[in-house]
Amino acid sequence: MRTLSVPGLATTLAVSTLLVAQTQPPQKKSDAEQDLPPSISVNVDVVNILAAVRDKRGGLVPNLEQKDFSVFEDGKLQTIKYFSRETDLPLTIGMLVDTSGSQRNLIDIERNAASAFFSEVLHKKDEAFLIQFGEEAELLQDYTSAPRLLNQALNQLRPSSGVGGLGPGPVPTVGGPRGTVLYDAIYLAADDKLKGEVGRKVIVVITDGVDEGSRLTINQAIEAAQKSDAVIYSIEYSDPRAYGGMFNFGGNAGDGYLHKMSDETGGHVYRVDNRHPLDSVFKELQDEMRSQYSIGYTPINDVKDGSYRKLEIKVASREMKVQARKGYYAIKPESR
């Protein structure tokens, strides 16, 4: 059993023993690496931004050009060096599914919609991994480009429950009560799985947004995503029955936290409701990921001191809104 640990904490991401033999090695496949196109992400002096642009009605705007964008770092205008639309950079998706008790009635719907999503969105050079989280976070499928393996892992989704006695299952966490370790799961996906990857990196999390028992804070989860250049897309999916009808479709107690994580990393919050089912949400998410602008620039301030730099991306039209991460950490790259 291989575990991925939060530094200094007892929380672990447990890999199901049954699935280890079916998963890919921790490193991405060499043939996929050999096929990668030239990527600005490998240039440590370039800051890369993935941006989506929406009109005043919320629709995606896919036909802008480099001249339409301006990039500011800490208030200073930067010179854009690289620009592309609907980029061909490889896409790495971390799918995180909330299987806590409040979601048990939704798992079958999540499984079917996610299966169709993977079949549609994964192209030749793309890869994905699957994590379920409740009382613990568990890696069900490591990196793969095969929808078949992801479907097999989706079939392993099950409601989270406490671990008692001896036997297979997640490694229990030492400490206080656990319920839905949302922030821990996002941190582990970003820091342990996505940090060393190149290309476009996306975390898709299906949850009601309520965290109970994470050892890490929402700010630590966001920082890990920013440091790994990962965009968080939140799919807010709630079962009112799980809360005695307290939550209604259209909003719940976790809504603000999901917006914070997605807004800070350049993602978007999609809400499932009676008129907007999960399969439609996945279709919109697929359209957005294929309608992004890739922007790269060499910062005027080239000091790698680990500080946080604020980003602002503007477009010429005031009727359009740019969706991109709010900043990045100027970290000195690790020697290899």
Site of tokens 């499984």: 111
Give CATH superfamily name and number for 3-25+89-163+181-289: von Willebrand factor, type A domain (3.40.50.410)
Give me the residue spans of the domains in the chain. 3-25+89-163+181-289
Phi-psi sector, 262: left (phi>0), alpha (psi -120 to 50), beta: alpha
pLDDT of residue 71: 98
| 8 Å CB contact between 70 and 76 | no
Q: Classify strands 137-144 and 12-15 as parallel, antiparallel or unpaired.
A: parallel
pLDDT in tens, the chain (336 residues): 344 455 544 444 544 433 333 444 444 444 444 443 333 333 458 999 999 999 999 999 999 999 999 999 999 999 999 999 877 778 999 999 999 988 989 999 999 999 999 999 998 889 999 999 999 999 999 999 999 999 999 999 999 854 432 233 343 333 444 589 999 999 999 999 999 898 899 999 999 999 999 999 999 999 999 999 999 999 999 887 766 555 444 445 678 999 999 999 999 999 999 899 999 999 999 999 888 999 999 999 999 998 999 999 999 898 999 999 999 999 876 654
SS3 labels along the chain = CCEEECCCCCCEEEECHHHHCCCCCCCCCHHHHHHCCCCHHHCCCCEEEEEEEECCCCCECCCCCHHHEEEEECCEEECEEEEEECCCCCEEEEEEEECCHHHHHHHHHHHHHHHHHHHHHCCCCCEEEEEEECCCEEEEEEEECCHHHHHHHHCCCCCCCCCCCCCCCCCCCCCCCCCECHHHHHHHHHHHHHCCCCCEEEEEEEECCCCECCCCCHHHHHHHHHHCCEEEEEEECCCHHHHCCCCECCECCCHHHHHHHHHHHCCCEEECECCECHHHHHHHHHHHHCCCEEEEECCCCCCCCCCEEEEEEEECCCCCEEECCCEEECCCCCCC
Nearest-5° Cα angle at 69, 71 to 44 = 45
pTM for this prediction: 0.81
CA–CA distance, 217 with 182 (Å, rounded to integer): 10
Closest to 61 in 3D by CA, of 247, 318, 291: 291
Structure tokens at 87: 């980029």
